[in-house]
Structure 1
Amino acid sequence: MGDVCEERSSVCVSGGRTRVLVVGGTGYVGKRIVRACLAEGHETYVLQRPEIGRHEIEKVQMLMSFKKLGAKLVEASFSDHRSLVSAVKLVDVVISAVSGVHFRSHSILLQLKLVDAIKEAGNVKRFLPSEYGMDPSRMGKALPPGRETFDEKMEVRRAIEAAGIPHTYVLGACLASYFAGSLSQLETLFPPKEKVTIYGDGNVKVVFVDEDDMARYIAKTVDDPRTVNKTVYVRPPDNVLTHMELVGIWEKLSGKELDKTHIHAHDFLSNMKHLDNKGQKAGIGFMFHLFYEGCLTNFHVGEDEEASSLYPDVKYTRMVDYLRMFL
C-alpha cells in the first residue's frame, strides 16, 4: 500500500495497523464502532473510565468482551487532563462516541476536553467527533430547543478546526432501531399493528441506516486519505425512502394494510406546546426537520462524499431486510 505518513493529516498505516482510540465505546453506537474497528483490522483501544461504579456492571462486562476480541483498554478520565493526553498519545486516530445527551450537560463538554487533549498531544492524525445524524452545519435555522444540539456540535467543530486537527465528520442518516422498526412512530420501537401516523403527505425522502452499517462506514473512513477534513454522508441509495415507502415495505412484508392518519405540519408542531420536557420538545423538532423538511436529502451529495459509493464492499442492510426481524 505504501507509506501514507507524509503529513500529519495522513494516518500511518505503513508497516502496521492503524491505531484507533474509541471514546464512549460502551455506548449505543460506540460499542458497534469498537467491533467494526476490530473487524476492519485496526489496532483498537477503548477508553476505560476509572469512575465506572458497581451499578455499571454491564459496562464492565462489555469492556471485558472487547478485550477478548483483541481490543486494548486504556484508563483515562475526563476530570484528569493528563490521563487524556496520555491516552491519545497511544494512537493515530480518535473516534468520539460519547453520549449525545442534550443541552450541554455532557457531550459537548467532554468533546471539548478531548479536543484540548488531542491538541496538546500533537500526534493524532484524525479525529471523528460524535455526529452521525443530521448535519449541524445545515441546521442553523432549526427549531428551538433542539437547535442547541446543533449549535453545540458546531462549537466542537470550530474548536477542532481552530486547533488544526485533521478530522472527518460522518453523518446523514436515521438509525434504524429508532426510526425504521417503529415505522417512525413516536411512542414505540415496534411496527404498529393497526394504525400508523403519516407525517404530512408522507412523500419526503428520509435516509435510514442499520447501526452496524453506520459503524462499518465510520471504521472505513479513519485511514482513508480521501476523507481527511471532509464530511462523509451515509446515504445508501436503497435506504433513501419516503415515510409512505417505509410503511409500504412493512405492509407488503406483513401482508396487512395499516389504517393511515396524515398529520399536517402545523398540527404536528402544536404537540410541542403541550410538553414540559425539553428533550421531548427537541425530539418533535427533529422529526419535523426530518419528515417535513427533508433535512437529510434536500441537498446534493457527490460520490466522493457518500459512504456507500466510497466503500461499495460494505453490503449494507436494506430496510426491507431489516424489517423482516419483526415478523
Structure 2
Amino acid sequence: MAKSKVLVVGGTGYIGRRIVKASLAQGHETYVLQRPEIGLDIEKVQMLLSFKKQGARLVEASFSDHRSLVDAVRQVDVVICTMSGVHFRSHNVLVQLKLVEAIKDAGNVKRFLPSEFGMDPARMGHALEPGRVTFDEKMTVRKAIEESKIPFTYVSANCFAGYFAGNLAQMGTLLPPKDKVLIYGDGNVKVVYMDEDDVATYTIKTIDDLRTLNKTVYLRPPENVLSQRELIEKWEKLTGRQLDKSSLSEQDFLSSMKGLDYASQVGVGHFYHIFYEGCLTNFETGQDAEEASQLYPEVNYTRMDEYLKIYA
C-alpha cells in the first residue's frame, strides 16, 4: 500500500517538529503548513527551511483564508494538527475548527489527527476549573470532526518527559532538583511518561493503520507506566544521591491554586488529576481504543532511566 501524503499543521512547535521528522523518517511525502503570520520569527522560518532541506514541502496557507486552507489539504491524504493547547505558551485549540471546515470542504482527507497528545479529554468531563477548558475545547473540536464525518485518530500521549520526567514532576522547573523533592500524596499513583520523539514515531505509525481508524490510541508502553516514587528512584540510582523527600497532601496541593494566575491554575489542576487522581492509568482502554506499544512492538521506545541520563 502506498504511504499517505501528510500535512503537518503547527510543524514548528514542540511536538510538531518531531512529527515532521518522524513522517520524513518513515518515508511519507511530508508537507508543512507555512503561515504568513510567521512574520519575523527567524527561528521558525529557519526551522521551516531546514524541513525543506530534509525533503519536506512547504505549503502556504492562513487560518484567515479558508480557500488557502482547502487548497493545502487537497494536496494530501492525512492532516495532523499539533497546535499548542497549553496556556503558558499559546493556546490555539479552537482555531482547529477552521481546519475542520477546510477538510470537510476539500472532501479528500483519509484521516485527521487533531491536536490532542495529552490526557484523553473524553475522560475529563469532571475536571477542575479553570483547567477543564482545555478538555472542553478539545471535545468541541472532536464533535465538529465527528459531525462532519471526517475519519480520525485521536492520540493520547499522556506526559511529555521533557515537562514531567526530567524535573521529577516538580512544578515551576524543567530540571531535576538537587537536594529536595516534593512528592504528591503518597507518590504511588501510576503516571505515563513519554519521550517526545517516541510520541511522534507512534503517531505516524497510526496514520495508515486501519486498526486505528476512528479510534483513540493511547501511548502507554508498560515500562513507562511509573509512579512518581519509581521515577525518583531511577534518578537516585542514576546519580547515586538520595533526595530529601517531603509529601504534599491533596488538600494542601489544591489550596496552592489560590492567588495563582490563570495559566498556573490550569497547570495545577492538570497536575492534580495526573498525580492524585491517576487519570492517565485508572481505566482500561476499552473497545474504541488501541494501545500503541501493543500495536507496534517493533518500536524500541525510550525508557525513563535512559531518558534521565541526559540530566545527570
Q: TM-score range by the shorter chain?
A: over 0.9
Q: Identify the residue that residue 299 of structure 1 maps to in structure 2.
A: 283
- Whether the 8 Å CA contact 2:165–2:308 is kept in 1: the answer is yes
Distance 1:200 1:106 in 2: 30
Distance 1:109 1:322 in 2: 33
TM-score norm. by structure 2 comes to: 0.97
Q: Identify the residue that residue 285 of structure 1 maps to in structure 2.
A: 269
- Whether the 8 Å CA contact 2:94–2:137 is kept in 1: the answer is no
Moved more, 264-273 or 296-305: 296-305
Shift of 1:188: 1.2
Deviations 1:124-178 (A, max 9, x none): 0100000000010000000000011100000000000000000000014100000
Cα–Cα, structure 1 residues 50 and 172, in superposed 2: closer, same or farther, change >3 Å? closer
- Listed as ranges, the gaps of 5+ residues in structure 2 are none
Equivalent position amino acid for 1:22 in 2: V
Q: Identify the residue that residue 244 of structure 1 maps to in structure 2.
A: 229
Distance 2:86 2:220 in 1: 25
Distance 1:150 1:302 in 2: 20
What secondary structure is seen at the aligned counterpart in 2 of 1:63?
A: helix
Question: Is structure 2 residue 93 aligned with structure 1 residue 108?
Answer: yes
Q: Give the total of aligned pairs.
A: 310
Counterpart of 1:66 (choices 51, 66, 87) is 51
Distance 2:257 2:263 in 1: 11
Counterpart of 1:36 (choices 22, 35, 48) is 22
What secondary structure is seen at the aligned counterpart in 2 of 1:289?
A: helix
What secondary structure is seen at the aligned counterpart in 2 of 1:292?
A: helix
Distance 1:312 1:290 in 2: 26
Equivalent position amino acid for 1:300 in 2: E
Distance 1:53 1:172 in 2: 31
Equivalent position amino acid for 1:257 in 2: Q
Q: Identify the residue that residue 77 of structure 2 maps to in structure 1.
A: 92
After superposition, residues 60-209 of structure 1 pair within 5 angstroms as 60-102=45-87, 106-209=91-194
Equivalent position amino acid for 1:94 in 2: V
Deviations 1:78-132 (A, max 9, x none): 00000000000000000000121449x8523320000000000000010000000
Q: Identify the residue that residue 21 of structure 1 maps to in structure 2.
A: 7
Identity of aligned residues (%): 68
Cα RMSD (Å): 1.4
Distance 2:107 2:13 in 1: 27
Cα–Cα, structure 1 residues 179 and 101, in superposed 2: closer, same or farther, change >3 Å? closer
- Listed as ranges, the gaps of 5+ residues in structure 1 are 2-12
Distance 1:289 1:83 in 2: 39
Shift of 1:312: 1.0
Equivalent position amino acid for 2:127 in 1: A
Shift of 1:301: 2.5
Shift of 1:18: 1.1
Distance 1:182 1:31 in 2: 22
Q: Identify the residue that residue 218 of structure 2 maps to in structure 1.
A: 233
Equivalent position amino acid for 2:32 in 1: V
Deviations 1:210-260 (A, max 9, x none): 000000011101111110000000001000000000000000110011000
- Whether the 8 Å CA contact 1:172–1:296 is kept in 2: the answer is no
Deviations 1:56-78 (A, max 9, x none): 00001000110111100000000
Q: Identify the residue that residue 6 of structure 1 maps to in structure 2.
A: none
